[in-house]
Chains A and B, each alone.
Chain A
């Protein structure tokens, strides 16, 4: 299926893009994270040694959240608003 992956703040800067279309067989958010980590290089910023938060269709989720066609999956660092 096709999904959109978005990156924010320090992760956006690290990977050098704010979003990309991804063709994937992944069933859940964690498997997308695995696939991105496998790229190596700058994508190490998604390492599980770091605090990375995920949102699926603009709602915070865990890695076991299930994907569907045209889903929007976002990766970002801990939030610091207010």
Chain B
């Protein structure tokens, strides 16, 4: 049995996790996954100063795992799914690298889609990770977004992350 929550510096293999979610469980009819990756903001803004050379991810060991475990428990209260697995990387990452995987199995697609989105919205504002981007002008901490608080509010949960 794989742990539900893994925090690691190494990259991860998405298909291995998806295989695990359906292995030996004939009830499963749907698996939904989300992968977050490092983007180079320069290519979105057209501004050379926005280039992301690398990104460093810091977290609060122990609290990170228990916070995400609690999120999965909360998701089980709300949605009818079988399993959820979350992998989140920390340490030094480069553009195009994978950062996070949320994968959920259920009997029907609707519950997997919803649980996957719920877990990501929750994780963005309640899991203790911090990103620091290295740009040509030096390194700076990434600001939290109000839009991420708004995303969690759709599920009836007040985030209070930014404000």
Contact = CB atoms under 8 A, between A and B. Distances in A.
**A associates with B:** yes
Interface size on B, as a range, is 20 to 34
Contacts of B131: 80-81
Interface string A55-81: 100111000000000000010111111
A9 interface: yes
Contact of B126 (A8, A51, A60): A60
Contact of B60 (A51, A58, A78): A58
Query: How would you classify the secondary structure of chain B's contact residues: helix, strand, loop or mixed?
Result: mixed
Interface string B126-140: 111111100000000
B63 A82 contact: no
A81 B144 CA distance: 9
B143 A80 contact: yes
B102 to A, nearest CB: 9
A17 interface: no
Interface residues of A, number: 18
B142 interface: yes
Interface string B24-68: 000000000000100000000000000000000111101100110
27 contacts: A8-B58, A8-B130, A51-B144, A51-B161, A53-B160, A53-B161, A55-B60, A58-B66, A60-B67, A74-B63, A76-B60, A77-B144, A78-B125, A79-B125, A79-B126, A79-B129, A79-B144, A80-B129, A80-B131, A80-B142, A81-B59, A81-B124, A81-B127, A81-B128, A81-B129, A82-B124, A82-B129
Interface of B: 36, 57-60, 62-63, 66-67, 88, 99-100, 120, 123-132, 141-144, 160-163
Interface of A: 6, 8-10, 51, 53, 55, 58-60, 74, 76-82
